[in-house]
Amino acid sequence: MDYNKVLSIVEKTGKVGFDEAELSDELKIKWLTIWSMGLAGEIAEMYVECDQVNYDGMLDELADVCWYTVAIDKLLGRELVKKIEFIDYQEVCRRVHLKIEHPRPIKPLILGCMLIALRYTETAKKYAEHYPRRSIESVIGYHEPLVNLNGVLDFDNVADRLSTKLQKRYPNGFI
């Protein structure tokens, strides 16, 4: 995954959230909560695509998972996603002679990622609920689904998929 390209898309399309978050801690908590729920929801959608044996749909949802993960990473002022060393999926497939167009039996892995995202959402909720007594450092785990899916799904074209999806959704540009 090209982190800088995805970050550029996130900064352009998530601008309202970042602009508001600079105004107050309450607005930062608002966007943390919204994007945490979005992350869990996109992983659930990826699971549905996997269940329907729709590899292309899974990759579209993976792009959304990456968007939310990078957005949360930026909102929290961390670079955990940037530090993930994404495996060259095409090369893995060549080495083990996989057909890329067919989903691998990864439903249990995606389900596990969904549970991780839900657990992360709970930490974000507790942070919001107990702010300011609870430190922002308690909000952890949002990047773990990407770590777990690394090498299992193709992250190579995430930025291109995001651009294509967002151009279709917002043909007149972003707010």
Average pLDDT of the chain is 86
For 92-149, the pLDDT digits (tens) are 666 665 555 555 568 888 989 999 999 999 999 999 999 888 888 888 899 999 998 8
Cα separations in angstroms, 57 against 42, 63, 75, 128: 11, 10, 27, 33
Residue 104 pLDDT: 55
**CB of 33 within 8 A of CB of 68?**
no
C-alpha 103/C-alpha 120 separation (Å) is: 26
- Is pLDDT above 60 for 55? yes
For 19-40, the pLDDT digits (tens) are 776 778 888 899 999 999 999 9
Domain assignments of the chain as residue spans, ordered by start:
3-169
C-alpha 175/C-alpha 7 separation (Å) is: 17
